[in-house]
Amino acid sequence: MLTIKVKYCGGCNPEINRVGLVESLKEEIEKKGLRVNFVGQDSENADLLLLVNGCRHACLEEQYLPFENGQSVISIEGEALNGEHIPQEAIPAILAEKIIDLAQGNDKN
């Protein structure tokens, strides 16, 4: 089972619903039949660190990119992934695909 540690930015003025987006991501992953354990930011071990930034400034990236202790990191930057604008409602499906690729060891990044 894949363990994903979720780290939220401080949420000063987010352009997305950060918690809602993670909930939608969980549903997407579940629909695709992958078993994932989402853990909080204080957990020690995880296969993947998910940074949930509320806007393009992406405060968390300054602290955590590119890797935290060799962990893979995915960063949501408001309505963007890897600098590309993506509407909030499309992000969970795209992320779920990416996470499945990671779990299967064929991530292109």
Partner 1 sequence: MMMNGKEYIESLRELNPEVYFFGKRIKSVVDEPMFLPHINTAAMTYELAHRPEYQEIMTATSHLNGEKINRFTHIHQSIDDLVKKVRMMRLLGQKTGTCFQRCVGLDGLNAVYVTTYDIDQKHGTNYHERFKAWLKEVQEKDLMPSGAMTDARGDRSLRPHQQKNKDTYLHIKERLDDGIIVSGVKAHITGAINSHEILTMPTRTMGEEDKDFALSFAIPSDTKGVTFVFSRQTNDTRRLDSPLDAGNPKYGIVGGEAIIIFKDVFVPWERVFMAGEYDFTNELVETFAGYHRSNYGGCKVGLADVVIGGSYWIADAHGISRASHIIDKLTEMIAMAETCWSCTLACSYEGYKTPSGAYHINPLLANVVKLNITRMVYEWMRLAQDIAGGKIITLPSELDLENPEIGKIIEECFVGKEGFSTSDIIKMLRLIENMSVGAGLPEAMHGAGSPAAQKIMIARRGNIERKVELAKSVAGIKRDRDFEKIVGKDEETYWREVKERIRQGHVAEKS
Binding site for partner 1 (CB under 8 A): 14-15, 17, 55-58, 61, 77, 82-84
Q: Which is nearer to partner 1, 44 or 62 (CB)?
A: 62
Minimum separation from the CB atom of position 103 to partner 1 (A): 25
Q: What is the DSSP secondary-structure string of the chain?
A: -EEEEEEE---SS-SS-HHHHHHHHHHHHHHTT--EEEE-TT-S--SEEEEEESSTT-HHHHHH-S-BTTBEEEEEESSEETTEE--GGGHHHHHHHHHHHHHTT----
Token reading at 48:
């993947």
Q: Which is nearer to partner 1, 26 or 57 (CB)?
A: 57
Q: Which is nearer to partner 1, 34 or 88 (CB)?
A: 88
Minimum separation from the CB atom of position 17 to partner 1 (A): 8
Minimum separation from the CB atom of position 57 to partner 1 (A): 5
